[in-house]
Amino acid sequence: MIVVMKVDSRQKEIDDILKRLAERGLTGHLSKGVERTVIGVVGQTYPELRDMLELLPGVEDVIPITKPYKLSSREFQSQDTVIRVGDLTIGGGELVVMAGPCAVESEEQLLETARAVKAAGANILRGGAFKPSTSPYAFRGLGEEGLKILAQAREETGMPIITEVVTPEDVGLVLRYADILQVGARNMQNFVLLDEVGKAGKPVMLKRGMSATIQEWLLSAEYILSQGNRQLMLCERGIRTFETYTRNTMDVSAIPIIEKVSHLPIIADPSHGTGKWYLVAPLALAAVAAGADGVMIEVHPSPDYALKDGAQSLTFDNFQRLMAQLVSVVASMGRKMAGGTNG
């Protein structure tokens, strides 16, 4: 942490800061410039220290220089985290494809979709049993009934399943059915939920909140990691901006940034990232070209009859076409599809 003094700060003020730091077992390292004095704080700092220092007389600004997250950083762990789910590995170089409907609506809808995405080469089946919805009057999912249908689809197709958990007390229930727990964007800072999935002992996918900075996202990851769960992957799903043409603005740059600053695998969700089905394929391909470890795609037998997010869902045909394009782009990058999919 660096304390920048005001141009007209006085020696007494500087001395007071040094004293305050000493009270906390920290040392202040003075650097007198042409215009102003700067104090480097040496020792184990913490975020609240900044608030305190900013309030002291003579202080112009306080600048943190250490990243507030640790376990999720490349500096802490230089090699990539690789997560194993059955025979699959996520984060090990191959492209993983997760696909399925936004919400589980019925046995028929899910099984039909599961077979179709499996046939097209998807590796993991997605489907929501508990659905957060902006409006209390909208469909909120089938609950445990939906989880059972998901398990049935796994039974039949062999695909592991990823599904969302929306509240801490459901973690145990969802764990009984899911292979990967998903924490949704609206819950990225539901800290009690993060604690719980941090104790779950199964892989977790943490979506970025729609107004979360990359640093805040990694701090939420830190909650999960610090509870002992290291099987964690991140998912970029679009951020909120002023643009209204798309539902969200998918931050494709987050993919190489995460790769640079963290060892955690990064998945891209162009369905929520754009909100429009005809943008899903171009953004899925873009995400892969930018280095994503996987993509998550919403697929529905009849998007125009979907109970949720039909506008951003692909038909089986469109999904199949996208898979062929993914195979081609992945090969051009010198990478492979997970599970031996080759079109």
Q: Does 25 bind a copy of itself (CB under 8 A)?
A: no
- In the set 100, 128, 303, 339, which binds a copy of itself (CB under 8 A)? 303
Rounded to a whole number of angstroms, the minimum distance from the CB of residue 203 to a copy of itself is 19
Q: How far apart are CA 175 and CA 192, in angstroms?
A: 16
Binding region for a copy of itself (CB under 8 A) out of 55-63, 117-125, 145-153, 199-207: 55-63
Q: How many CB atoms lie within 10 A of CB 317?
A: 10
Backbone φ and ψ of 84, nearest 5°: -105, 130
Nearest to 167 by CA among 149, 139, 145, 141: 141
Cβ-based nearer residue to a copy of itself, 86 or 228: 228
- Name residues contacting a copy of itself, limited to 61-80 (CB under 8 A): 61, 63, 65-66, 68-69, 75
Q: Does 106 bind a copy of itself (CB under 8 A)?
A: no
Residue with tokens 């659905």: 131
Q: Where are the alpha helices (DSSP H) in the chain?
A: 11-23, 47-54, 107-120, 144-157, 171-175, 191-198, 214-226, 254-261, 270-274, 277-289, 316-332
- In the set 283, 295, 322, 323, which binds a copy of itself (CB under 8 A)? 283
- Name residues contacting a copy of itself, limited to 169-198 (CB under 8 A): 169, 186-187, 189-194
The tokens describing 40, both together, are 């480097």
Rounded to a whole number of angstroms, the minimum distance from the CB of residue 192 to a copy of itself is 4
Rounded to a whole number of angstroms, the minimum distance from the CB of residue 99 to a copy of itself is 18
Whether 206 and 233 have beta carbons less than 8 Å apart is answered as yes
Q: Does 213 bind a copy of itself (CB under 8 A)?
A: yes
- Name residues contacting a copy of itself, limited to 115-154 (CB under 8 A): 132-140
